[in-house]
Homo-oligomer: A and B are copies of this chain.
Amino acid sequence: MKSFTEYLIFNVKNRRKFVNITPEIRKLVSKSKILEGLCLVNAMHITASVFINDNEIGLLNDYDRWLEELAPHEPTDQYDHNKTGEDNADAHLKRQIMGRETVVAITNGELDFGPWEQIFYGEFDGRRPKRVLVKIIGE
């Protein structure tokens, strides 16, 4: 069995943004030289997500608006967590909807994807560097 570990860093300028990280993940799959296995991609911070969906700007806007409806940022004092001095409780909630991680099959040395699958980093409390972990095991 082989294993491969790498960390990506994202420093999003705004509070919230979706970043298509598929090209970076493809490069790491290739670098790992693993032909058959599983690839875990996860946010290492708890106010960010990694998820798979469509790279269509209208949809990404829809996600942003929808998450703001389900877990609004304002008023910040509606959340107990923000009594700690933080203002990011909503980001912890949004991240639960979108998920922490994805596990992707590696087949013949490539991400085994359907036609529209793309991997996104979802930032809900940006303006500082955050890490994403990529772990691949297989042969």
| Chain A residues within CB distance 8 Å of chain B | 1, 3, 5, 36-38, 40, 42-46, 51-54, 56-59, 61-63, 66, 70-71, 79-84, 89, 92-93, 95-105, 107, 112-117, 131, 133, 135, 137-139
The 7 closest A-B pairs by CB, nearest first: A44-B114, A58-B80, A105-B135, A3-B36, A59-B81, A58-B81, A61-B80
B contact residues around A58 at 8 Å (CB): 79-84, 89
Contact (A103, B103) CB under 8 Å given A53-B46, A80-B62 = yes
Instruction: Please report whether the interface of chain A is mostly helix, strand, loop or mixed according to DSSP.
Output: mixed
Cβ-closest chain B residue relative to A59: B81
